[in-house]
Chains A and B, each alone.
Chain A
Amino acid sequence: MRDSKLGRVVAANPGTLAADGSTLAKIGGKIPYVGAGITAGMYLKDGTKTGEWGKSAIKDFGGFAAATVTTDAALAGAASLGLAGGPVTLGAVALGFGAAYGVGEVVDHWDDITHGVSDAGKSVAHFAGELF
């Protein structure tokens, strides 16, 4: 098994399932391009399905920006702790995906959130009014 190609892939870098130096591992250095492509794909789908191209742009490209910033910060943080390598990159990218998902959820539920904040504000104002 270890001498097989699959064996080398798994043994060399179990965190990424891509052996160091392999084409797939090298693609790891190009994640921003692939991420931008996937983001564009999500934007086209959301825009096509909802017709809300502006909202879709904020949701998907905002998510991409959040993912980029989060991944960058996670990798910088890992470096300051002395962590590097394929699994670290994979973890940072996963955090980035989480950030992108969070932005998508906020945009999708923006009306609920603002409505909730407005209601909370009214409650606080009412409470304050009762006190004074």
Chain B
Amino acid sequence: MTTHPFHSTGQLPPRPDEQSGQPRPPRAPRKFGGEDATPTDREPRKAPAPPQQQGPRLEWYQEGPVGALKMAAWALVIMFVALVLIWQGFEWISYWYNWLLPPVIASLIYFTSRKDWVAAGARWLQHKSSWVDTYDLVEVAIGANGANQVLKLTDSAGRRIQTLPLRDVQENADLWDLVYNGILHSTVNGKANPPRGTRIILKLPGA
């Protein structure tokens, strides 16, 4: 995990300009370190509009068709292996209904992956159609939703993001940098009081 400059200097990095996004925040610490950057060769698919009068969308994360197909292919493999293990052999192939399972699960994974959407501007974060002002957060917490650890954020206007997988928001490092700077400001300025566990995971002061 990277060391954030705040921890050595005690100086909060400046807020980026709402329109230009400059200066970009320093690299933020991450638990899930994907290498995905905001694609420049394609537009997002069915993306919700950015929040009005909050500045443009600077970074976004959405699985592309190739990535989603790879995930679906893995799901197919996992399901076929699972069927062999469950039936302790290949008897399952003689029952037609077993053949439906792998493609159904693979399709579910493909379409849900293509629908996932996380975007950030200089001062906002959007998950699906919900968004929060990242510099005006009153709740920052990490909880769970099924098999995902999720980021729960609420801003002072009552806008909420409650089920954003930590993995998804940290997948794109540039996006996470923008979000983390807002979380850091909200915490250091005393607007948000994250629980100790959340402070440890996110490397926030006061852990």
Contacts and interface: CB of A to CB of B under 8 A. Distances in A.
A14 to B, nearest CB: 14
Q: Mostly helix, strand, loop or mixed at chain B's interface?
A: helix
Given A27-B74, A80-B195, A84-B31, A36 B105 contact: yes
B70 interface: yes
B147 A75 contact: yes
Given A31-B147, A79-B143, A45 B87 contact: yes
B67 to A, nearest CB: 7
A45 B94 CA distance: 12
Interface residues of A, number: 46
A122 interface: no
B184 to A, nearest CB: 17
Given A23-B67, A34-B105, A40-B101, 5 more contacts: A27-B74, A37-B105, A45-B87, A71-B144, A84-B149
Contacts of A40: 101
A82 B32 contact: no
B166 interface: yes
B33 interface: yes
A5 interface: no
16 contacts: A20-B34, A23-B67, A23-B74, A26-B113, A30-B112, A31-B147, A35-B147, A41-B82, A41-B101, A45-B92, A76-B144, A79-B143, A79-B197, A82-B201, A88-B149, A89-B148
B200 A82 contact: yes
B146 A68 contact: yes
Nearest to B171: A21
A38 B79 contact: yes
A33 interface: yes
